Amino acid sequence: MKYQMVAAAGAALAPLAVAIPYQQPHVRHAHLHHQEKRDVQTKVDWEYVTEVVTVTAGAAQQQWENHGHPWHKKSSSASSEAAPSTTSAAVPATTLTTSVASSSTEAALPTSSEVESTTSIAASSPSSSSSSPSSTWSATSSSSTADPTYAVTTSSSAAAPSSSSSTAEVKEPASSTSSSPSSYSTGITKSNLTPNGRKAGLSGYIGIQEKNAFSDLAPHISWYSDYTPNTPDSNGVKGIGMLWGADGSTCGVTPERLSIFNRLATDDVVPEIMFGFYEPDCSCDMSSDMSTSAGTAQWNSLLAPMAKKGTVLGSPSMCHQRDEIWLQPFIDGGLDADWDVTSVHINKPNITGVKEDIEYYLSTYKKPIWVSEFACVDDKNGFVACTDQDQINTFISDAVNFFQGNDSVVAFGPSNGAHLGTVWPLTKDGELTASGKAYRDAIKDL
């Protein structure tokens, strides 16, 4: 994707670093949930773009307006206007060439839209085509894989009383993340649920933990989840937020994550998408463990107001897969806002089980499916992760092909958490494993 940048001459651009606390994942059957800290290593790369700038002497200076992150702004204008000239004499325009450096950081620097400046970003929606896999709802999938274009306008004070404007096309930084919900659009709407037209994603907190592995996957995925409400973007991949649990859940991580979610509401943040409770049908600390009545009450109190402001809602995800008995009583309690996409967790040993789970949720709740976790697991005799690499490779290939070819599935991502044995995990020592490479190879040409 490319940015269109208008910047004042004479502004000094310097690399930025933002420390993001890393939260240590909690061990569970297939997930990395409980993060106490976020450990961030900062690496700065520079890109240089030569600009031809026309300068008119005598105009008033432009000043940076420090509004903070765009998602914290409630009513301030997102773009600045040039100050009126303070001189009456006409001064010939001078053309000069400047070198503008754009900085990028790994998992620390906010995206270019998040630098504390007066910035305006508008994403063009990817083209889409609609298809109707059933008579109950219509799935819309993107027919274009091109990234949206963002127009970025910035202003800064010059060293001398002059004004200048320049226009240059600069490439998006190779990697960037933020500690709050992303500020750019990925095209997620109620009628177009696939981020940037690309279904493939990742469930598991490796965007920051496993940098090399994530960098290998990033060009081929559009989203990832880390089980928190303010999942940061990483390497150009959209962070998808989730409300883990709420009042009624006694799990240890619930208060902290609920507090983060409440701050989003206080700051009037309106995420593109927010998923509901994490496996409320299973016990702490591996899941959020909520009663259906508490779930309904907290959904109406916390998530329904976001929906009224335009946020797409993902359903609570179920631990018991197609054997779940939680969602219908949750609905019967009276939801103020229905969910738009059903979040599905799949732990099966073969494609037959995968298809059965998808069919259950489609036929029961009649909503498009977001496979927020899938893994190769024998769930007939407890919970036993697959150990044969050939079986895992086949499972990944079959699942990806099925998800990609099914219009009812709008997104999918494999689990990369604990309790999945030693062969399934996608990463080890910061690098992709054989399973990770199998997933990368399955999605790289989609």
- Helices marked H in 325-433 — which ranges? 327-332, 351-365, 389-405
pLDDT digits (tens, 9 = 90+) for 345-366: 999 999 999 999 999 999 999 9
- The pLDDT, as a whole number, for residue 129 is 36
- The pLDDT, as a whole number, for residue 300 is 99
- Distance between CA 112 and CA 237 in Å, rounded? 14
Burial class (CB in 10 A: 0-12, 13-18, 19+), 75: exposed
Describe the strand order of the beta sheet including 162-165 as a list of residue ranges.
Answer: 94-105, 44-57, 162-165
How far, in Å, are 96, 182, 379 from residue 59 at the CA level? 17, 35, 71
- The pLDDT, as a whole number, for residue 286 is 86
> Which residues contact residue 253 at a Cβ distance below 8 angstroms, ignoring those fewer than 6 apart?
26, 33, 34, 244, 245, 285
> What separation, in Å, do the N-terminal and C-terminal C-alpha atoms of the chain show?
18
By residue count, the chain amounts to 446
pLDDT digits (tens, 9 = 90+) for 202-258: 997 655 578 899 999 999 999 999 999 999 888 899 999 999 999 999 999 999 999
Claim: this prediction has a pTM higher than 0.75: no
SS3 247: coil
- Helices marked H in 27-111 — which ranges? none
Instruction: Tell me the average pLDDT across 396-423.
Output: 95
Average pLDDT, the chain: 71
Burial class (CB in 10 A: 0-12, 13-18, 19+), 332: exposed
- Among the residue ranges 46-50, 318-322, 327-331, the one predicted with the least confidence is 46-50
Residue 305 has pLDDT above 60, yes or no: yes
pLDDT digits (tens, 9 = 90+) for 143-165: 333 333 323 333 333 333 333 33
SS3 256: helix
- Distance between CA 143 and CA 221 in Å, rounded? 16
Place 418 in a pLDDT band, splitting at 50, 70 and 90. confident
Burial class (CB in 10 A: 0-12, 13-18, 19+), 266: exposed
**Residue recorded with tokens 């004499």:** 89
Residue 383 has pLDDT above 80, yes or no: yes
**Residue recorded with tokens 């290939």:** 397
- The pLDDT, as a whole number, for residue 271 is 96
Cβ atoms within 10 Å, residue 293 = 12
Place 184 in a pLDDT band, splitting at 50, 70 and 90. low
- The pLDDT, as a whole number, for residue 186 is 75
Beta strands in 87-166 (DSSP E): 94-105, 128-131, 139-142, 150-153, 162-165
- The pLDDT, as a whole number, for residue 419 is 84
Q: What percent of the chain has pLDDT over 90?
A: 52
Q: Identify the structural domains of the chain with CATH numbers, from first to last.
A: 195-443 (3.20.20.80)
Instruction: Tell me the average pLDDT across 375-398.
Output: 97
The winner for highest mean pLDDT among 128-132, 178-182, 208-212 is: 208-212
> Which residues contact residue 370 at a Cβ distance below 8 angstroms, ignoring those fewer than 6 apart?
193, 275, 314, 341, 342, 343, 344, 409, 410, 411, 412
Top pLDDT among 401 and 76 is at 401
- Distance between CA 225 and CA 201 in Å, rounded? 8
- Distance between CA 30 and CA 204 in Å, rounded? 9
